[in-house]
Amino acid sequence: MRELELLYEGKSKQIYKTDSDDRVVIRFKDDTSAFYGIKRANIEQKGRITCDISSMVLEYLNANNINTHFIERVGDDGQLCRVVEHIPVEVIVRNVVAGSMAKRLGMDEGIIPENTIFDLVLRRSDLGDPLINDHHAVAIGLLSYDELAKMYEMSAAINNRLIELYEKAGITVVDFKIEFGRAADGTLVLADELSPDTCRLWDKETGERMDKDRFRRDLGRVRETYEEVAQRLHNVLK
Ligand code: UDP
């Protein structure tokens, strides 16, 4: 595989063409942003660390028969991934109430609901990424009811595997965001990172936040805490 020119650059990733039409290299940047880019920073080594964590997690999911776009790690901050047709919705899976759900429903962070919660969000930053439901998603032609059912089934399976993995690392999976794509044969594939940038992770003993809330809420020690997550996962998976 040869890495070729830059195809796209976003706030936290770069996507490079390769000499194979159905493969891209995704590179993780040190840049971080929150609140629609209003708060920004460059956190030294963040690209390498989030790539490391996301590679371990996606490899674990692949090994547990969950289809992901991840093929292999490329260098410190890159992943060779399958090209998929991206579906512009986010699924947010919640095991513990936090963040926007706590705010929207006037609930305290930390409440554990009886059931797992799945939110559907339309990726339209010009509209503020609105919360939508299944019927909206079908009506605007994003995906079919059958695909939605499959997407929730995969999201639940991913949640179970993440809880199991992080449990061994002494970490509670509070919530996370995932996006999907369609492979050439139409099957759904997880096409996203899974790292402290996209998951809320709380230390089981101390309740310490080990995720992007450290940056969003100015809690400090962002890099050190991400490193700690990576180290714990390495210990679990070695
Ligand atoms: N999340 C994300 N990207 C987004 C929005 C949310 O990765 O654009 C993640 C976020 O890190 C958290 C989960 O999705 O783990 C739920 O986020 P929430 O809806 O509570 O929004 P927030 O509090 O981040 O505004």
Question: What was the pLDDT predicted at 188?
Answer: 98
Protein residue whose Cα sits closest to atom 21 of ligand 1: 100
Give the mean pLDDT of the chain. Answer: 98
Please state, in angstroms and rounded to a whole number, the distance separating the CA atoms of residues 218 and 55.
27
Protein residue whose Cα sits closest to atom 2 of ligand 1: 198
* Gap from CA of 231 to ligand 1 centroid (Å): 23
Task: Name the residue of 198, 222, 226 to mutate for ligand 1: max ligand atoms within 8 A of Cβ.
Answer: 198
- Tens digit of each residue's pLDDT (9 = 90 or more) over 157-216: 999 999 999 999 999 999 999 999 999 999 999 999 999 999 999 999 999 999 999 999
177 within ligand 1 shell (Cβ under 6 A): yes
65: Cβ contacts below 8 Å, ≥ 6 apart: none
Please state, in angstroms and rounded to a whole number, the distance separating the CA atoms of residues 232 and 179.
25
198 within ligand 1 shell (Cβ under 6 A): yes
Please state, in angstroms and rounded to a whole number, the distance separating the CA atoms of residues 224 and 130.
33
- Tens digit of each residue's pLDDT (9 = 90 or more) over 53-94: 999 999 999 999 999 999 999 999 999 999 999 999 999 999
Q: What percent of the chain has pLDDT over 90?
A: 100
Atom of ligand 1 nearest to the CA of 212: 11
CA atoms 146, 178, 156, 176: torsion sign = negative
